Amino acid sequence: MEPNWVDVGAAADLQKTPVQQVMIGRTKIALTYLDGRFGAISGVCNHVGGPLGEGRLKGEFVVCAWHYWKFHFATGKGEPGYEEDAVPAYEIKVETGRVWINPEAISKRSRKPHKVHPLAREIKRADGPIRVLGIATTALTVKYPRYSTSDDLLESALGHAKDALGCETQLIRLRELSFRHCEGFYSKSAQACTWPCSITQMDAKDQMEQVYEGVVHWGDVILISTPIRWGGASSLYYKMIERMNCIQNQETIANKTLLRNKVAAFIITGGQDNIQAVAGQLLGFFSEVGCQFPQFPFIAHSRGWSAEDMENNTRYVRNSKMLHDGAAALAGRAVALATVLVQNVKPAGEPVRGGRKAHQLDTRAQLPLAGQEEAREEFGGQN
Ligand code: FES
């Protein structure tokens, strides 16, 4: 049968851009121009449907705009070692100054099986006592440890959970982990922010995996401690939180609630004030990822705006029976709620439009999401 060539534009115009997306009907094509030669491959990446036509060229490979998988600009084959991971390629020709593409692909999409990341396993609470995960977020010099008020109270809370309440406990100090900042995949597209986190999947050395493992697969109670720094939580807290967007985003893109029956509670200490604002930030985020809170979900201490005597502050916290008792009581309230949830709450169906999903209907109705419907159909809305 004669090819049904489709005119996609003037060669003189198209050759100005090394990689661009053109549409043939509903089919997205990544059209490339390299060393005097055009190439045409599918515009839908094999990974999770990212737009290859919005990527860039590296040598002879189109680099996906989302997570940087690579496909040969003319054959569609994956980079060396991943040749079986191929996207369809199309015949292309230039005639009478126009670029023509045959919409019948000359090769098929094929996928090389990739190892499933351990974090992607089914989330199933293992039997056993209530498990309390402490996350200390204060930033200190790791090589020269020193006293921290927020660490100290967190350790009191964990000690009480273990010794008095019979819980399993684990402490993660963020400052001891090496992990990358969130690189904003969500800002490219909600679908580009994946579970497990795109960075975790790409970078085996990234230790945020330990936080994901503890929060998603292990802990029943998540106890977070933070200092107040310039009126906010610690910078490491925010670094962790940005990386946890992938947990919340599963609600939005896949109707999946990763945190069920989890309790969060907080310890906030500062030389100066702003406790209520910090608590509001922490509560807001952990409610968005689906956590429950005990009655009175945080304890806090600060010296106040005009107190600069930090030596006295650390001495005060170290010696304050009231604060350490308060930390223990916070752990007690969190563990009590977790016990009720774990024992009595059976896994329900998926929450209906949990978090901010209610907005999705509106935005879909108002804005055509260029080319995304096709990707979603092809990938079944899955990551
Ligand atoms: S690399 Fe293309 S969608 Fe992830």
Q: Which of 99, 17, 109, 68 is nearest to 379 (CA)?
A: 109
My answer on whether 318 and 212 are in the same domain is yes
Please tell me the distance between residue 255's alpha carbon and the centre of ligand 1 in angstroms.
21
Tell me the best of 19, 45, 61, 379 to mutate to test the pocket of ligand 1, counting ligand atoms within 8 Å of each CB and taking the most: 45
What the block records as the tokens of 181 is: 């900042």
pLDDT value for 360: 55
When mean pLDDT is compared across 185-194, 275-284, 288-297, 355-364, the lowest value belongs to 355-364
Q: Which two tokens stand for residue 281?
A: 């930030």
Instruction: List the domain range (segments joined by +) for residue 328.
Output: 118-344
Residue 175's pLDDT is 97
Is the same domain home to 144 and 48? no
- CA 50 to centroid of ligand 1, rounded, Å: 5
**Residues 273-297, buried b or exposed e (16+ Cβ, 10 A)?**
bbbeebbebbbebbebbbbbbbeeb
Q: What does pLDDT average to over the chain?
A: 91
Flag whether 330 is in a domain. Answer: yes
CB 236 within 8 A of CB 138: yes
Q: What is the dihedral of CA 165, 329, 157, 131, to 10 degrees?
A: 40
Q: What integer pLDDT is reported at residue 363 of this predicted model?
A: 56
Pocket of ligand 1 (CB under 6 A): 45, 47-50, 64, 66-69
How many domains does the chain divide into? 2
- Edge to edge, the sheet with strand 56-58 lists 56-58, 61-63, 70-72
On the CB side of 124, CA atoms within 13 Å amount to: 4
Note the pLDDT of residue 253. 86
What's the confidence (pLDDT) of residue 339? Answer: 96
Both 237 and 157 in one domain: the answer is yes
* Rg from Cα positions in the chain: 26
User: Could you tell me the two tokens for 103?
Assistant: 């919409």
Cα-to-centroid distance, 54 and ligand 1 (Å)? 11
- CATH number for the domain spanning 80: value is 2.102.10.10
* Whether pLDDT at 382 is above 50: no
Q: What's the pLDDT at 375?
A: 47
| Whether 210 and 319 share a structural domain | yes
For the CA of 55, the nearest atom of ligand 1: 2
70 shares its domain with 209: no
CA of 89 to the centre of ligand 1 (A): 17
Query: What pLDDT was estimated at residue 347?
Result: 61
Q: What is the pLDDT of residues 2-12, one digit of tens each?
A: 789 999 999 99
Nearest residue (by CA) to ligand 1, atom 3, is: 50
In a domain, 311, yes or no: yes
253-306 confidence digits (pLDDT tens)? 888 899 989 999 999 999 778 999 999 999 999 999 999 999 999 999 998 888
Q: What CA–CA distances, in Å, run from 316 to 5, 41, 234, 303, 327?
A: 79, 66, 21, 10, 15
Tell if the pTM clears 0.85, that is, is over it: yes
Same domain flag for 168 and 45: no
320 with 291, same domain? yes
CATH code: domain of residue 284: 3.40.50.360
pLDDT digits (tens, 9 = 90+) for 133-180: 999 999 999 899 899 999 999 999 999 999 999 999 999 999 999 999
Encode pLDDT of 98-145 as tens digits.
999 999 999 999 998 888 999 999 999 999 999 999 999 999 998 998
